Structure 1
Amino acid sequence: MSVSRETSSRLQAYAELLRHWNSRINLVAPGSLSELQTRHIDDCLQVADLIQDGTGHWVDLGSGGGLPGLVLAIAKADTDISFTLVESDQRKAAFLRTVVRELDLTRVKVVSRRVETLPPLNAAHVSARALAPLRQLMAYLHLHLAPTGTAFLMKGRQWQGEVEDARTEWVFDCVAHPSRTQEGAAILEVSGVSHGAQ
């Protein structure tokens, strides 16, 4: 994704904050910090490329170090999308709030609760990266995704097996977008989630 100078500057500031905080709380694996741009930030920017709609409420589940939620919020800061980052770990939530404040991301709020304890958020878009197996994520989508909403779930090389497993319990539409940053990985575009095996 090609980004504006302002977006690039904000992403750089975010990366610096993440590196600073990572020495105290484990936001990303320390060994991956040297590849922060390609392995984490560029990886998440792929999701921003898939979004055509510049409006609505976006919910990022298990935001952790802000991947992909904060990266998406920075990339889409000039749109009308509002973001809710859900992170139950209080220390990670404190990091997220610090980035939101320091980068002046006015359309972003952080909720420090467990995903399953929140009332339905009726989100137009939901994202998650390295949070849970797809079958478990479906329960979260069923709860928080609007009936016409779309989820973007970042999955590793085992994504096909996860889709098959999830279909034993859930009905959903799924388009797999091959990852440009990790061979065999995919971004799963999921919609039409309902309970009951196909």
Structure 2
Amino acid sequence: MSSVTERHALELSQGAEQLGVALDDGQKERLLGYLALLIKWNKAYNLTAVRNPDEMVSRHLLDSLSVVEYVRAAGDNILDVGSGGGMPGIPLAILFPQRRFTLLDSNGKKTRFLTQVKLELKLANLEVIHSRVESFRPEQPFSGITSRAFSSLHDFTEWTRHLGDVDTQWLAMKGVHPSDELQALPADFNLQACHLLQVPGCQGQRHLLILRRTCESDRH
């Protein structure tokens, strides 16, 4: 794991502590193992626009961990849409081994990477799906649906409405507060909560928006 240094490990430990997220040794090892795989595969697969490994702890690992307390309330069957390089889905799957996480992406290179992470880190609670979100038809609704920089709130909710129901929480990770996007939400979705996220080492604003369906819709 030569690409991951002691400084990365220290930054992860201190950052998680600032976020109030307790990591055991196994979780730290897996998170750093994921970071090493991300650094290695990013050189060929362009998994993330962040090229500098020294920025990845804060902008990927800690950013994903910043929503842990809100994911606790999102049930046991969570979908990460447009997962890309696996954020926030993989760090959350590491933190919540007793919950089921499905990572969906339409890019074959990215899903191959996610599958490799699942195998190397032995994440039995993780499923990787290579599909367009509109074409994905699971057997049951998800209790939580997450996204990070996936699309506008309107497109996120419209494209995933068939994947949830009135009990589902949609958790959208955003940068600056998306006031205009909230105005364009579909009529049967509303904003349940908005949280300003404080991510150690990250510049700029980060927000988590939690959305709910207000009624069943026949639009599938």
> Normalising to structure 1: TM-score of the pair?
0.89
Tell me which residue corresponds to 2:58.
38
Indicate whether 1:171 and 2:189 are aligned.
yes
Aligned partner (choices 44, 65, 69) of residue 49 of structure 1: 69
Do residues 8 (structure 1) and 8 (structure 2) align?
Answer: no
Aligned partners of 1:82, 1:72: CA distance in 2, in Å? Answer: 10
* 1:33 CA drift (Å): 3.2
Name the SS for the 2:44 alignment partner: coil
1:187 to 204, 208, 217: 208
Identity %: 28
Paired residue for 2:179, among 156, 160, 167? 160
Q: 2:134 aligns with which of 116, 123, 126?
A: 116
Q: Distance in 1 between matches of 2:30 and 2:93?
A: 10
Mark the runs of 5 or more structure 1 residues left unpaired by the alignment.
none
Runs (4 or more) in structure 1 with deviation over 6 Å come to none
Distance 1:160 1:75, change over 3 A: same
Equivalents in 2 of 1:96, 1:142: separation in Å?
24
Mapped contact 1:141–1:151 kept (Cα < 8 A): no
Q: Which runs of 5+ in 2 are unaligned?
A: 1-20
Q: Distance in 1 between matches of 2:171 and 2:74?
A: 15
Q: Which has the larger radius of gyration?
A: 2
C-alpha displacement of 1:53: 4.3
State the alpha-carbon separation in 1 of the partners of residues 49 and 117 from structure 2: 19
Deviates more, 1:125-134 or 1:136-145: 136-145
Which residue pairs with 1:73 in the alignment? 93
How do 1:94-173 and structure 2 match up within 5 A? 94-120=112-138, 121-166=140-185, 169-173=187-191
TM-score, L = length of structure 2: 0.81
3-state DSSP of counterpart to 1:147: coil
Alignment RMSD (CA, Å): 1.9
More strand by share: 1
